[in-house]
Amino acid sequence: MSNTLRNEILSRFLRYAAIDTMSDDQAVAVKHPSTDGQWDLLNLLVDELKSLGINDIQVDANGVVIARLPSNIEHTVPTVAFMAHVDTADDVMGNNVKPRVIEAYDGKDIVLNEQFTLIAGENPELSKYVGETIIVTDGNTLLGSDDKAGVAEIMSAAAFLVAHPEVKHGVVEFIFTSDEETGAGMNTFPYDKISCDYCYTIDGGK
């Protein structure tokens, strides 16, 4: 991955992480998205997609954004979609997130604040990222990389494809959903509004 693309993904993630999108599993039965903050991020994504020059965008009333990048090749190939959710879990406070970037992680314990420390010995996954850039919180909230990391990756990919027409592709759809963490994220999904043959959810581990 180029440094330019890496820096764009990081910049987008930090910007998105600061937006309060914690979902509410109690409210989702009567309101979808369950929290207004999810609309804040969804609307921002719509604005950013438009600024890229992507104008085929549908915004569903239940908090789903579907954007479509036209094919730049003459023959027909399958349509591929990439999907991520904008909400963060409410198990632990996820609002007022203050991300901290650690460059060239040294493999040692990470002090988040006076109360909480990430103990390297208790978190063996950390050893896989020695020398790399990692992002943590101030210890008071979730970070929200589930799934704003996916959102940042998809948006950066969209920007890359627009900026590099020499990369040939068929129709690509970018899909952003809400309330995944409540378990109700797909309950009202507008399947009739997508055209993809294959859809990849960008959410999870490495």
Domain locations in the chain as residue ranges: 3-99+137-201
User: Strand ranges (DSSP E) for 103-205?
Assistant: 110-111, 117-118, 134-136, 172-177, 198-201
Instruction: Tell me the C-alpha to C-alpha distance, in Å, between residue 38 and each of 50, 171, 180.
Output: 19, 27, 11
The yes-or-no verdict on residue 1 having pLDDT over 90 is no
Q: Is residue 74 annotated as a catalytic residue, yes or no? A: no
Q: Which two tokens stand for residue 103?
A: 């460059």
Active site residue: 8, 90, 173, 180, which one? 180
Which of 3.20.20.60, 3.30.70.2860, 3.40.630.10, 3.50.50.60 is the CATH number of 3-99+137-201?
3.40.630.10
Active site residue: 8, 24, 87, 90, which one? 87
Q: Is residue 180 annotated as a catalytic residue, yes or no? A: yes
Average pLDDT of span 34-56: 97
Q: Virtual CA dihedral for 88, 105, 125, 112, nearest 10 degrees?
A: -50
pLDDT tens-digit series, residues 130-188: 999 999 999 999 999 999 999 999 999 999 999 999 999 999 999 999 999 999 999 99
The residue among 184, 202, 176 whose CA lies nearest residue 68 is 176
pLDDT tens-digit series, residues 59-84: 999 999 999 999 999 999 999 999 99
The yes-or-no verdict on residue 21 having pLDDT over 90 is yes
